[in-house]
Amino acid sequence: MIRRSWRPDRPLHLRRTLGELLQQRGDPTARLARDEVVRASRTTDGPATLALRVLGDGSVDAGAWGPGAEHALQALPALLGEDEDLEGFDPSLHPVVARQHHRTPGLRIGRTGRVEDVLVATILGQRVTGSEASDAWRALVLRHGEPAPGPQGLLLPPPAAWFAAQPEHVYRRVGVERQRTATIRAACRHVARIEEAATMPRHDADARLRGVAGIGAWTANVVRRLALGDPDAVEVGDFHVPNHVCWQLAGEQRGSDERMLELLDPWTGQRGRVVRLLAGTPGAPRRGPRGRIVNSATLSRRR
């Protein structure tokens, strides 16, 4: 195990910054607490487990295990958004955004720097609820992952080559239908080419990601925000996000992608950051009976 102490140059909310990288329920690759995050991943130097804790003086105490430990510690500032792009972000343009920014000034848009880190888990989220995606991810890792370095008891997800090689029944067993299975296998077969998106300008990275059959705007945008730290990436095509944004910014209980993007237009270049800030606000009040979730196999819209 090796350690590093790092002091951010501005506020850092560890849980909000890294929470988007973790699956909703029981992610076996990570553990999240208020001021501590432990995460297992694969680096270019090999597997690593990274444990982060915010101290009373605001500094971050980091420990890492495994062949990729040094790489993980070197990448720590980028992961925690030290070099994030803040150009054009003006929270004062809307009172709700200003209030949320005041409440959580330490929310940052960090980047893993590796598309493979987030690719499969993001594809699993296509056209299903977050709970369904988390359940599938957890089942795949528990059945086919391997012990991560260190004493934390975490698991490493299988590498991209494993996901590319698995037959359909492996995915079907954990509730993943044929379309998402095909997208995962196609993306993982071409992961080396997709990985180049991490060093590309925003438009080129988006085109590279969406060049894979089954990857649409929703998936490409989520991957760009997590892996590349793109603060403008918005989850168009999401079932909940447009409604939530339209409620908070305009008091409208239902919203389309088009209306959401219209309301976010004043923050072009930082729209994804605004969406992340609004994620901590209440949704529109429910009216009438709660609707039934449609099975993902019946949906054809590409995300």
Across the chain, mean pLDDT equals 93
Structure-token pair, residue 101: 């920014």
Which helix (H) or strand (E) is 136 found in, with range?
helix 130-144
pLDDT tens, position by position, 58-71: 999 999 999 999 99
CATH of the domain at 303: 1.10.340.30
Which helix (H) or strand (E) is 207 found in, with range?
helix 202-210
Q: Which domain holds residue 165?
A: 84-286+294-303
Q: DSSP for 17-83?
A: HHGGGS-SS--TTEEE-SSEEEEEEEETTEEEEEEEEE-TTS-EEEEEESTTHHHHHHTHHHHTTTT
Structure-token pair, residue 129: 């609820």
pLDDT confidence bin for 303, thresholds 50/70/90: low
pLDDT tens, position by position, 78-104: 999 999 999 999 999 999 999 999 999
Asked whether residue 40 falls in the same domain as residue 132, the answer is no
Asked whether residue 160 falls in the same domain as residue 27, the answer is no
Boundary (domain end) residue, out of 83, 112, 146 = 83
Whole-structure pTM over 0.85, yes or no?
Answer: yes
CA distance 300 to 303: 9
pLDDT confidence bin for 23, thresholds 50/70/90: confident
pLDDT tens, position by position, 205-230: 999 999 999 999 999 999 999 999 99
